[in-house]
Structure 1
Amino acid sequence: MEQKTFAFFPEAAFGPALNSVGIAQAVERMGHKAVFLSDPGFVEVYEGYGFEAHPVNLSEPMPPEQMAKFWEDFINGHIPNFRKAPIDQIDNYVKECWEAIVDSAKWAQKDLPGILAKIKPDVISVDNVILFPAIKQHGVPWVRIISCSENEIEDDSIPPHLSGMSENDTEGHAAFRARFNEVIKPIHDDFNAFLGTCNEDAYPVGQFFEASPFMNLLLYPEQAKYTRSKPLDPAQFQYLEGCVRQDEPYEVPTFQKNNDGPLLYVSFGSLGAGDTDLLKRLITLIGQSRYRALVNVGDYKEEYSDIPDNVIIDGWFPQPSVIPQVDVVIHHGGNNSFTECLYFGKPAIIMSYVWDGHDNAMRVQETGHGFRSDRYEWSDEELVEKIEACLNDEAMAAKLKATSAHMQSQNGQEKAAKLLVELAEKNA
């Protein structure tokens, strides 16, 4: 068997990055080579897993620590907007994100052609929400990975991406799409002008990427899929059923109080950890309860004092090793957290704040795998009621058990690797 080279280009966030790492590990187990195209700030992440990584500037070059601080400050500056409904985040958080994303595509075009010529990949996999023309034009099959909510691939009968709306709220869908297109149009016009300079056709308003004609890999599991008016063709779209990565083992420490109580895990991701007031409120509530909890506070550990004896905080947890051991997860709706809870059959309460977290929060509730909760407008009694339902609802437990068994039987990493290798061999 001739060894093939597979290039992976995930966006600079731990969710997409670590999903691609899992697929790349499976590719290498099949005897092939995996390399990463990387935002400079993530090169060390991929090298830490033993992969070759090539930096691609996605903004004005700056030291990695300065880049990390930029996104931390960006998120923390928007905390007041996290109180708003998704449609009311379009003209602030969402707009500013799309401005940065369009800029990243322009910057990437400077580096990508030379890097691709150097590494000579047989297949390129990109996990992002925007087209990088150099990847489409390189002359080898390219695969789009959708590691966020599956409604990134639009359909008129499902909620628009980022809306957090119910599947049945068709009036709301139309209002969200109209508002999004109105606010985004100047940014979209600018992107289309850039595409023109790359000899690419303009996209319809609101669209920044296209489905790959070769293959598209969606992480959503079967049990959370939307009902589409135009079902996705399996020859072009495959679901990876979570594709959950392996991580280092974790032993739950002994708690000084409630050591036999139900165990909660609370995490709003590395960026959401800046919302320290909300995490402190949750810690106070848990401190007065029969539960115990592991709480991910990110880089803000020094801001916490007087931690209750039934709460343990840390700056990071190996989440795929923690979630199987807990009873309920309270999280922000990030797709790794969303799919890991389903994969391990754990009920979730999702307090979303941005991006596809809103869609995942609605989806977990609509499919009977947990609850969505307003991020701030809740009482202690309401939250305890949701936690108790997660612990005691027999129908929810049965649904989670079935979903978990299905996802674990699918082996999404190996499935993705096989699809990529088949594509390379077919194109040889």
Structure 2
Amino acid sequence: MSTISKRILVTPVLGVGHVNACAGIAEPLLKNGHRVAFFLEKQFAGQLSKHGFEEIIYEIDYEPDDTAGTNNRTPGEQTAHFLLKNGILGNNDRFSQIERVINTAWDSDSKKIQLDHHLRQAIKTFEPDLFIVDNPRLQPAIYYSNKPWIKVISIAPLLCLYNIESLPPGWSGLSNSDLDRKQWPKYQKIVQNIFYRKDENDLIEKMGYKRYPNDLLMPPTEALTIYAYPEEYNYPEIKEYHPDWFNIEVFNKNESNEKIDLKEFLPKDFYENDLNGNWSGKWIYVSMGSMGSIDLNLMHRLIEVLSRTNHKYIVSKGPRHEEYELTGNLWGDRYLPQVKILPVVDLVITHGGNNSVTETFAQGKPMIIMSLFVDQHDNAQRLSETNFAKQINPYDFDDNDLINAIDQLLNDDQLRQRLSKASNRIRNSNKHSELCAKIEEILMKN
């Protein structure tokens, strides 16, 4: 344990997955006596303090038509409604989907200026010794603070490997096949707009800072880069091109191996229901995340198909939980303790978010990935091509393909052995402690 307490300011993208990933990194630092504060907009208030972190809460004055400013929703719900409103979710061409993400996801200049003001005030008040940043855009107040900062890649890392010619472009879900390679250039070109922005650097100048070199959004001045991708399906190119990156493999590993007792957790009639003597004995966890579960057409179709099988399903119903019912072999609730459920189920059907995928993999569970957008497509493709999961298009699948995929994975003993071996390795590793020690080395040098 460190004998000198330091101050660490965490500035994540305001999405549930990003915040949770950063909390997984910061928890060992908190246990070692350091002060860890999260810089958060007010809809996140109370989310981190209950775990012992400090919160520096700020408010933004939004334009009346700005979806992000809807304060009566949880953070995950706000993001989901934003994506739905802007046509990003749904059965879209992936290239058009990326275009919409890039063109609509950037905050207004007004919000960026307000954010800069609040961050400068937080830095002045908290006086951090180190920043942990999970964002494709580095705030100039951090860059010019003369304090070290750590970059976190909480999404699948492929997007950040855009300069490696042998890898498919991030967010595309493309493979290395000759046919897919013909599509690479147009994706590679548009992905560059995520990392190089003249307009963003114009605003940085307007706010009184010097613009970043080459109009980058995140200059390569970080003290450390952290990502999470289990080595069993990791990209070998990362070690070749970025040997100093630290792979924590899973941000929230469930160190204490917490798990629920299904008999105590589930309603008695659902737990005891043997489906008229046809129950397979298999439990399957279904989570399409806040993003997927907001699409009722998707959820209704998925539920209808799953109801025709002889397995039992625990469903994370999401923001619109009151707008659809689960009966028979399906039960669920608005939000569920996913980390505690994963150890006790036999299969997971997921949207493919990086936290969900790595947490499921760390527990050794087979997956069906029904990816919705951005890096979820990367995860679906990568785990499919390494034969650790099956990917199925959530908007254009044949009923029997999904049913057959479930049965195949439940009966694939060879896959289960491979997953069990990987799970044992990950759960017995000391990556979180090693990372904590690395961060403390950086802290002690400054």
Q: Shared fold by TM > 0.5?
A: yes
Contact 1:242 1:412 in 2 (8 A): no
Q: How far did 1:175 drift?
A: 2.3
Tell me: CA distance 1:224–1:111, structure 2 relative to 1, closer, same or farther (3 Å).
same
- Counterpart residue number, 2:314: 294
Residue from 204, 208, 211 that aligns with 1:200: 211
Contact 1:144 1:216 in 2 (8 A): yes
Instruction: Report how many aligned residue pairs link the two structures.
Output: 420
Q: How far did 1:382 drift?
A: 0.4
Contact 2:280 2:310 in 1 (8 A): no
Aligned residue identity for 1:223: E
Quote the sequence identity (%).
26
Contact 1:158 1:227 in 2 (8 A): no
Contact 1:36 1:53 in 2 (8 A): yes
Residue from 22, 25, 45 that aligns with 2:24: 22
- Counterpart residue number, 2:225: 216
Q: How far did 1:89 drift?
A: 1.0
| Paired residue secondary structure (2:72) | helix
| Paired residue secondary structure (1:60) | coil
Aligned residue identity for 1:270: S
- Counterpart residue number, 1:417: 436
- Counterpart residue number, 1:33: 35
Unaligned stretches of 5+ in structure 2? 64-68
- Partners of 1:271 and 1:87 lie apart in 2 by 19
Q: How far did 1:77 drift?
A: 2.2
Residue from 266, 273, 290 that aligns with 1:256: 273
Unaligned stretches of 5+ in structure 1? none
Residue from 96, 102, 107 that aligns with 1:100: 107
Tell me: CA distance 1:309–1:231, structure 2 relative to 1, closer, same or farther (3 Å).
same
In the alignment, structure 1 residue 331 sits paired with structure 2 residue 350: yes
Q: How far did 1:210 drift?
A: 4.0
Pairwise mapping of residues 338-353 of structure 1 onto structure 2 (< 5 A)? 338-353=357-372
Q: How far did 1:384 drift?
A: 1.1
Give the stretch that moved more between structures: 20-29 or 378-387: 20-29
- Partners of 2:186 and 2:90 lie apart in 1 by 20
Residue from 274, 299, 309 that aligns with 1:279: 299
Q: How far did 1:104 drift?
A: 5.5
Q: Residues 168-204 of structure 1, C-alpha deviation per residue, up to 9 Å, x if partnerless?
A: 54332222123445xx599933112123342132446
- Partners of 2:181 and 2:416 lie apart in 1 by 30
- Partners of 1:230 and 1:406 lie apart in 2 by 19
- Partners of 2:125 and 2:176 lie apart in 1 by 45
Give the stretch that moved more between structures: 396-405 or 357-366: 396-405
Please, what TM-score do these two structures have when normalized by structure 2? 0.86
Aligned residue identity for 1:142: W
Residue from 285, 288, 313 that aligns with 1:265: 285
- Counterpart residue number, 1:173: 184
Contact 1:343 1:403 in 2 (8 A): yes
Aligned residue identity for 2:351: H
- Partners of 1:426 and 1:129 lie apart in 2 by 26
Tell me: CA distance 1:257–1:277, structure 2 relative to 1, closer, same or farther (3 Å).
farther
CA RMSD of aligned residues (A): 2.6
Give the stretch that moved more between structures: 162-171 or 268-277: 162-171
In the alignment, structure 1 residue 160 sits paired with structure 2 residue 169: yes
Tell me: CA distance 1:2–1:185, structure 2 relative to 1, closer, same or farther (3 Å).
closer
Q: How far did 1:22 drift?
A: 2.3
Q: How far did 1:327 drift?
A: 1.1
Contact 2:15 2:79 in 1 (8 A): no
In the alignment, structure 1 residue 135 sits paired with structure 2 residue 142: yes
- Partners of 1:163 and 1:171 lie apart in 2 by 13
Give the stretch that moved more between structures: 166-175 or 242-251: 242-251
- Counterpart residue number, 2:123: 116
